[in-house]
Structure 1
Amino acid sequence: MTSGSFHIRPARTADVTQIVEMTQPLVERRALVPKETVSYYESIQEFLVAEVEGTGEMAGFGALHVMWEDLAEVRTLASHDDWRGRGVGSALLRRLVERARALGVQRVFCLTFEVEFFTRHGFEVMEDQSAVDPEVYAELLRSPDEGVAEFLDLARVKPNTLGNTRMILHL
């Protein structure tokens, strides 16, 4: 899988099986939050895929989830082990940030164990964990989304997601 180059494209429903397969080792290492397959189908329009030229194989993927008028989250950003260190994650992150700008988002955050990677791309560790106004916080509390719950540091978050670092990029 490691030879050749890759291109970034919007994800399709046919990609979900590969995405789920690629997330499994990362979930086991507690680098990614476990999700049900249905969650990937429900949010497939948020995903981009790095596809290996000429093979159709997936080198990586990532998603941008808009949470509020000026706030979005980079989610489930991952590269296949064979492609780590070859620019896949960086290319995906750049395109996700471009999407955020195009949507009018002013801040992009992530919850990550890969602090160095995101720092290289301009993200900073959030000193102030209350990144939203109290009124927005009250609205976000109504969301059933686990990523929103984790961002707000709510108790309903799955235990294996705790301990990661909240980072933010101001656009």
Structure 2
Amino acid sequence: MFGLLEPLVARRILLGKEMVSLYEAVQEFVVAESAGEVLGCGALHVIWKDIGEVRTLLVREDRLHEGIGGRIVEVLEARAIELGLERLFCLTFEVSFFTRHGFAPIGEHVVDPDVYAQLLRSPDAGVAEFLDLAHVKPNTLGNTRMLKHL
């Protein structure tokens, strides 16, 4: 997964992740492979009791447009439903891809004030991106915040 991620980070398509962060989140990932070769991956991170985030969705560049990313999203959605989540969030440059998969751009207020106050306590950068906090904006320029109701 790290090998797929590095070139995208270098081109500023995805935010960088330390190897330790990938290991810490390994249980959140789905990996697409063929003949033992990693073709793509994506993670489902639970943000709140009813909200999850699709994170680190990527497909090997030479295997784009084969449906691999869409299949990964389907598996992540199924996991989200199993966990009782009702909404999925993503922060992406790939707006058309996520729109085809039922996501839509969102505004600032997607949770009630009590939940917002609780989420502010999270040290997770992805939660800060979900909340659209000012301190993460330099890392998210050009990205679109999107949400899907399951």
TM-score tier (shorter) = over 0.9
1:49-104 CA deviation, whole Å, 9 max, x = no partner?
0011xx21100000000000110000000000111001110000000011111110
Aligned residue number for residue 115 of structure 1: 95
Aligned residue number for residue 89 of structure 1: 69
C-alpha root-mean-square deviation of aligned residues, in Å?
A: 1.2
Matched AA of 2:40: G
Asked if 2 retains the 8 angstrom alpha-carbon contact of 1:30 and 1:161, the reply is no
Matched AA of 2:63: W
Aligned residue number for residue 105 of structure 1: 85
Q: Aligned equivalents of 1:150 and 1:90: distance in 2?
A: 23
Return 5+ residue gaps in structure 2 as ranges: none
- Over alpha carbons, which structure has the higher Rg? 1
Q: Aligned equivalents of 1:161 and 1:41: distance in 2?
A: 23
1:101-142 CA deviation, whole Å, 9 max, x = no partner?
11100000100000000011111111x321111111111111
Q: Aligned equivalents of 1:31 and 1:151: distance in 2?
A: 18
TM-score by length of 2: 0.95
Q: Aligned equivalents of 2:120 and 2:47: distance in 1?
A: 11
| Percentage of matched positions with identical amino acids | 60
Q: How does 1:57-96 map to 2 (within 5 A)?
A: 57-96=37-76
List, as ranges, runs of 4+ consecutive aligned residues in structure 1 with deviation greater than 6 Å: none
Q: Aligned equivalents of 1:63 and 1:22: distance in 2?
A: 14
Aligned residue number for residue 32 of structure 2: 50
| Alignment length (residue pairs) | 150
Q: 1:35 aligns with which of 9, 17, 33?
A: 17
Secondary structure of the 2:5 match is helix
